[in-house]
Each structure stands twice: as C-alpha cells, then as structure tokens.
Amino acid sequence: MLYLIGLGLGDATDITVKGLQAVKSCSRVYLEAYTSILTVGKEALEEYYGKQLILADRDLVEQGADEILKDADVTDVAFLVVGDPFGATTHSDLVLRAVHAGIPYRVIHNASIMNAVGCCGLQSYCASLLSSVFLLNVMNIPGFNRDHVVLITDFRGKKIYEPPRFMTVSQAADQLIQIVQRRRREEEEGELGVTEDTVCVGLARLGADDQIIRTGTLRQLVSCDLGGPLHSLVVTARLHPLEVDMLRVNAEPDALQHLRVIDSSTFTS
C-alpha cells in the first residue's frame, strides 16, 4: 500500500491518529520537502513518529517516483505532505504511477491553509484560492475583484546553489503595490479594483503556537514584520458585516476605513 498522509500545519503532533498509525506500519517513510515546511525539523518528526524519514525533494518525486514506489505492492510505504496531500500542490502523478503499477493507495487527509485561512474571519466559501508563483500576473485571475483571494506565498531554492527563500507578507504586499502603480501608469486602474488602501490580511505560521494574523491596507502591510515562514496574504473583496467585525480583532489602526461592505440584508449563506 502507498499511503499519502497529510501532516497538518503546526508541528509533529498535528498528524491524525489514523495517519500516525499508518506511518508506524510502513517500512519506508518519505517526507515531501519542497512544497511547504513545518515549524519543527525532520528530527522532531522522527522522534514523535518513531520512524526514520527519507527527505523527498522535487527531483525525487517528479523524476524518481519509481524509487518511492519500489516494493510498495508487497510492503507499506508512506509519503508525508505538510498540510493536506492534495492541498497546495497535487501529487496526482504519484497516485497515477501507483495505479498503473497495480499498487493500491490510500489518502489520509489533514488541515491545510485552504481551510485554516478561515480563522482570520473571512468566509472561505467567498474566496478564490491561488498558489502564487511570486505573484506573477496575480491580478489576472478570475474573480479578483469579486472574491477574497488567498495568496499562498511561494518559497523557492535551487537544490545545490542556494537555500530556500520564503516570501513574506511584506514582500507580497510590496509586489502587489508595484503592480498597482505600474498599471495605474498604464491607465489600467479601472480594471483592478485594488489600490494601496485595499484591506488585506497577513497570516504567518497558521496552526503553530506563535501564529500571527494581521489586518491592514496593502500600504500598511508593506512595513509589517510577521516573523518566520510560512506566510499567506488575503486580498479582500466586498465584506459581510460579520467579516468586518472579525477583521477588527487583528486590525492595524485606521486599516478599516476603506472597506467595501455588502448589504447584510441581501446576504445569503
């Protein structure tokens, strides 16, 4: 059996009971190590799971999948993914390879940024979800002006030449402002609906004990230091009054003066 197991968002203890039982039954356990990170290191996971973990970088997963699947038809192999196995990055290719090789598979889900983002007070079913590539062409996505947009800020690093780099909320806000200003110079502002005063929500290390949620305008979030990775940024659209009340809990001074609020009497859940 090939197990694809979500680890959740925080630390070693966020794995589900079902997931932990599966890990303990496996002869080999791979830790996917290129789409996200936990707040603890590999050693802490090994200690809690009672298993040695094999780091699986992008090259191994995308080009050496046969190594992961080796003997999985006669023994149990686990593939661990931070968040949910099919959250920020789908691992469909690995599943298809297993199916084509006649290897049964099982997915054990867990929390991911896709659902945890609701803790900031925005109603997630009113959001468009986007995993950004350092925010290239981000404002061209469908529904940017209509729905809240969750930007899952990227981290990158070449295997040999440099360590991973993590985009911060501050950097993401700065890049968005640069896009706004460039399009304003090109007289495209009418298409954006986004300005330096658009209310956004910065999130850092969701699920960890030291998670941070900060509401502010794009201009304010540029100078906002939310600490270590991982960060996400939500660009709000029209807001329900209940969402406004929730945003006030973590708001910067004067951040909520430029809100677009819908009429609650016309709101349908």
Mapped to the 3 state alphabet, what secondary structure does 8-68 carry? ECCCHHHCCHHHHHHHHHCCEEEEECCCCCCCCCHHHHHHHHCCCCEEECHHHHHHCHHHH
Q: Which domains does the chain have, with CATH numbers?
A: 2-108 (3.40.1010.10), 113-266 (3.30.950.10)
**Reported pTM:** 0.80
Q: Which two tokens stand for residue 10?
A: 């925080």
Q: Of 66, 5, 69, 67, whose CA–CA distance to 32 is shortest?
A: 5
Is a pLDDT exceeding 70 seen at residue 129? Answer: no
Confidence of residue 140 (pLDDT cuts 50, 70, 90): low
Check the annotation: does 8 bind a ligand. no
Per-residue pLDDT of 23-77, as tens digits, reads: 999 999 999 877 777 778 899 999 999 999 999 888 888 788 899 999 999 999 9
Q: Which two tokens stand for residue 178?
A: 């640069």
Q: Of 147, 138, 211, 127, whose CA–CA distance to 180 is shortest?
A: 138
- Rounded average pLDDT over 97-121: 91
Is a pLDDT exceeding 60 seen at residue 163? Answer: no
Bridge partners, 56 (sequence order): 32
Among the residue ranges 63-67, 86-90, 135-139, 190-194, the one predicted with the least confidence is: 135-139
Check the annotation: does 148 bind a ligand. no
Check the annotation: does 87 bind a ligand. yes
Check the annotation: does 84 bind a ligand. yes
Pairing of strands 77-81, 148-152: unpaired
**117 vs 125: which has the higher pLDDT:** 117
- Rounded average pLDDT over 221-247: 89
Check the annotation: does 240 bind a ligand. no
Q: Are 86 and 129 within 8 A, CB to CB? A: no
Cα(170)–Cα(218) distance, integer angstroms = 9
Q: Transcribe 123-148 into DSSP letters.
A: -GGGEEEEE-STTTTGGGSTTTTTSE
Q: Which two tokens stand for residue 207?
A: 């699920």
Is a pLDDT exceeding 80 seen at residue 248? Answer: yes
Q: State residue 269's pLDDT score.
A: 41
Cα(48)–Cα(71) distance, integer angstroms = 26
Confidence of residue 144 (pLDDT cuts 50, 70, 90): low
Q: State residue 39's pLDDT score.
A: 77
Is a pLDDT exceeding 80 seen at residue 258? Answer: no
Q: State residue 152's pLDDT score.
A: 64
Q: Which two tokens stand for residue 53?
A: 């973990």
- pLDDT above 90 covers a percentage of the chain that reads 39
Q: Are 153 and 132 within 8 A, CB to CB? A: yes
